[in-house]
Amino acid sequence: ANFDGRLEQVNPAWTKTLGWTEEELTSRGFAGFIHPEDHEATNAIQKELSQGRPIRDFENRYLCKDGSFRWLSWRCHPLVESSQIFGIARDVTDRRKNEERLVEQMALLDAAHEAILVKDMDERIIFWNKGAERTFGWTAEEVLGRKPPDLLFKNPDEYQKAYAELLAKGEYSGELLKLNKRGEELMIATRWTLVRDERGQPKSVLAMNSDVTEKKRLESQFLRAQRMDSIGTLAGGIAHDLNNMLAPILMSLEILKMKFPDEATEHLLDTLLNSAQRGADLVKQVLSFARGVEGERIVINPSHLLRDIQKIAFDTFPKSVVLDLDVPPTLWTVMGDPTQLHQVFLNLCVNARDAMPEGGQLNITLANIVLDETYAAMNPGSSPGSYVMIDISDTGTGIPPEVQERIFEPFFTTKEFGKGTGLGLSTTIGIIKSHKGFINLYSEVGKGSKFKVYLPASTSAQAAQEVAVAQTRLPRGDGELILVVDDEDAIRQTVKNTLERFNYRVVLAEHGAEAISLYVRHRNEVAVVITDMAMPVMDGPATIIALQSLDPKLKIIGSSGLSSNGGVAKAIGCGIQHFVPKPYTAEVMLRKLRDILTEDPAEPAA
C-alpha cells in the first residue's frame, strides 16, 4: 500500500479471506473497505506510518464481498523512501467473536443472583461476579488473587475437607459456614465443579454459592414452633391425668387437716398442700404457654389489673423497690382473660423485682397508641393498628445478649435450682400471642430492662381515628437532606420512604465507613444524620466521632434497640444529646427531627 491509502499489491490470501478479486482490491483506496466505526483509528495509524513509525497488533474490520466484515490484525512497516507501506494482516475474526461471547457470558454471570467465583488450582480467586460482591461484600478488586480459606472461612478445616472431596469426586455440594466482609456468619449452599482442560487435567474450580442464612433462620423458627406444638400436645395429653391425681390429694389434705388439728401435723399437711398446689399451678402454666387453654375473653381495662399488682407489690416487695404507675385519664380497653393477663403483668413485675436485689425503680406506664407501617416494618410480628401499650421498666442488672436470645424459651431460666421453672416468660409470651398481641424487650447489662406489651385495643373507630390523626398531624420537612445510617436494609428503606413522604430528601448508608464517604460528598447539604448505635465495620459511636471531627456542629440523632437508658448513655458519651429508641414510630422520628432542626444552636438540647 502507499501513503495515499491505496492497496498496490495483495497476495492470494486476501482474495480468499475477503472474497474480492485482486483487481477489485487494488482499484480503489483501502478506506472504502474499512468499517465506518474504524475509520478514525485507521487514519491515526496511517499518520503514524507516514511519519516512519512501525505498527504492531493494530486491529480493524474489513468489508467482505458478501457484505460481512472480518477482523484483521496488522503488523506494518513504513518504507519512507518509496512512500510505501509493507503490511501483514492476520484474520482474527474467530478470536474476536470468542472474546465477545466471553464478555456476554461474563455479563450473564454478573447478572446472576448467585455468588459465582472461579479459582485456579493454586486456590487463588480469578473470577468474582457481582452476585459474590452482593453476598460477601468484597469487590472483585479486593479478592482477585486471594485464597478463599483466608477470606471466607471461619473454620478453614471445613474448607479443606470439602476441597479434598472435590478433588476426589470432581464435584462437591453442601452447606458451609462462611464470613462476609463485616465478619458476619452466613450459611452458604455451595456447589463446586472441577473444570478440566483438553487433556483432562484439572485447571480451575467453578463455585456457585447461595446465601441460605435467612432460610435456615426461618427453618429454625419453624422447628421451634413445632417443638412448642409438640409440648402443647404432650401437655394436653397428660393434663387430665395429672389433675385427676392432684385433685384427690388436695381434697384429702384438707380433710386430714380437720382430723388432725395438732400443730405439728398441721404444719406437715400445709407443706404437702403447698407442694401439691404448686404441681397444679405448674400444669396450668404448661397449658398456658402451649395455648392449651384459651380462657374466657371479656372487656378489660388493664389499669385495673395494674392497680391490683401495685397493691401486691406495696405489700410484698422490698421497700427498696419503688413502684410508680402512670395511667392516662382515658385508657382504651382490651378483650382478654383477666386471670391470664394478671399473671403476665405480675410475672414481669416479679422478674423486675428480682433484677434489683439492691433496690431500684420499677416504672409501669400505660398508653393508647396507634402503630403505623414504619413501626410494623421495624418490628416483625406486629401489624399496624390500635393498641394499649404496657411499659414495665426497671433499673436493675440488665439482661446479657446471649440470655435475651433464649429468654422466652420454655424451661430456660437463669435462677437457681428450686427458685424457678423457666416457664414464666414462656407462659407470658404464650398468653400475649393468644391475645393477638406482641411483646418487645430492650435491655443492656447494668442499665436495666424494659418490657413493652402491646395488646389490641377495643375502641371505637372514631377514638382510634382521633389518635391516628393526632399522630399523623406531623411536622413536615422543607426539603432538608437527611443521612440515614443503619445496617438493616428494611429499616433504611422504611425510614427513607417515611421521610420522603414528609418532604425530606434522604441518602442511605449501610455502615459508618459509607456514611463518612457520603457525608464528605454532600457535606454542604446534609442537615441531620440519623445513625444506629450498633453496626458492623464502623459502629455508631465511632461514626459519630468521625463525623464530628469533620463538622463539630453537625446535628446527629442516635438510635438503638437497647434500653433507652443505655442508648442515651452511649449517645451522650459520644457528645450527642438526641436519641430515639428502636423500634420507633414515624411520629417519634419526625418530631425529633423537627426539634433538632429548629433548636437554637446556642442552646444545648434538652
- Cβ burial of 354 (10 Å; 0-12, 13-18, 19+) is middle
Q: What is the mean pLDDT of residues 121-126?
A: 90
More confident call, 422 vs 174: 174
364 pLDDT exceeds 90? Answer: yes
Query: How many C-beta neighbours within 10 Å does residue 76 have?
Result: 19
Helix (H) or strand (E) holding 566: helix 564-573
Percent of the chain with pLDDT over 70: 80
Q: Where does the pLDDT of residue 229 fall: very low under 50, low under 70, confident under 90, or very high at 90 and above?
A: low
Give the C-alpha separation, 175 to 190, whole Å.
6
pLDDT at 8: 83
Answer whether residue 351 shows pLDDT above 80.
yes
pLDDT in tens, 525-565: 999 999 988 777 677 888 888 888 888 889 999 887 644 34
Out of 4-8, 66-70, 131-135, 144-148, which region has the weakest mean confidence (pLDDT)?
4-8
The CA distances from residue 578 to 135, 321, 543, 595, 603, in Å, are 34, 30, 15, 9, 13
Q: From the CA atom positions of the chain, what is the Rg in Å?
A: 37
**Cα distance between residue 491 and residue 439, in whole Å:** 19
pLDDT bin (cut points 50, 70, 90) of residue 363 is: very high
Please give the mean pLDDT across all residues of the chain.
Answer: 80
Q: List, in sequence order, every residue forming a beta bridge with 85; answer none if it has no partner.
A: 78
Which pLDDT score is estimated for 292?
A: 42
Strand stretches in 129-170, DSSP E: none
Region 5-11 average pLDDT: 83
Quick one: pLDDT band at residue 566, thresholds 50, 70, 90? very low
- CB within 8 A of 284, min separation 6: which ones? 293
pLDDT value of residue 366: 94
pLDDT digits (tens, 9 = 90+) for 12-43: 898 889 999 888 888 877 888 999 999 889 88
pLDDT at 243: 62
Lowest mean pLDDT among 448-452, 492-496, 568-572: 568-572
Give the contacts of 215 (CB within 8 A, at least 6 positions apart): none
* pLDDT over 80 at 153, yes or no: yes
Lowest mean pLDDT among 34-48, 128-142, 367-381: 367-381
> What long-range pairs does 489-496 form, CB within 8 A, spacing at least 24?
490/377, 490/378, 491/377, 491/378, 491/532, 491/582, 494/373, 494/374, 494/377, 494/378, 495/374, 495/530, 495/589
Phi then psi for residue 533, to 5 deg, are: -90, -25
| 31, 91, 108, 565 from 101: Cα distances, Å | 28, 18, 11, 60
> What is the DSSP code string of 11-37?
-HHHHHHH---HHHHHSSBGGGGB-GG
Cell numbers that stand for 591 in this block:
418530631
For the chain, the straight-line distance linking the first and the last C-alpha, in angstroms and rounded, comes to 85
Interatomic CA distance for residues 346 and 353, integer angstroms:
10
Looking at residue 603, its pLDDT comes to 46
- Whether the CB-CB separation of 439 and 451 falls below 8 Å is answered with yes
- pLDDT over threshold 60, residue 291: no
Whether 385 has a pLDDT exceeding 60, the answer reads yes
Q: What is the rounded CA–CA span in Å between residue 561 and residue 440?
A: 10
Single pTM value for the model: 0.43
Going 272 to 423 to 433 to 447, the CA torsion angle's sign is: positive
Cβ atoms of 81 and 101 closer than 8 Å:
no
Q: What is the 3-state secondary structure (H, E, C) of 346-374?
A: HHHHHHHHHCCCCCEEEEEEEEEEEECHH
For the chain, how many residues are written? 606
Give me the pLDDT at residue 605, please. Answer: 43
Of the given ranges (264-278, 389-403, 419-433), which has the lowest mean pLDDT?
A: 419-433
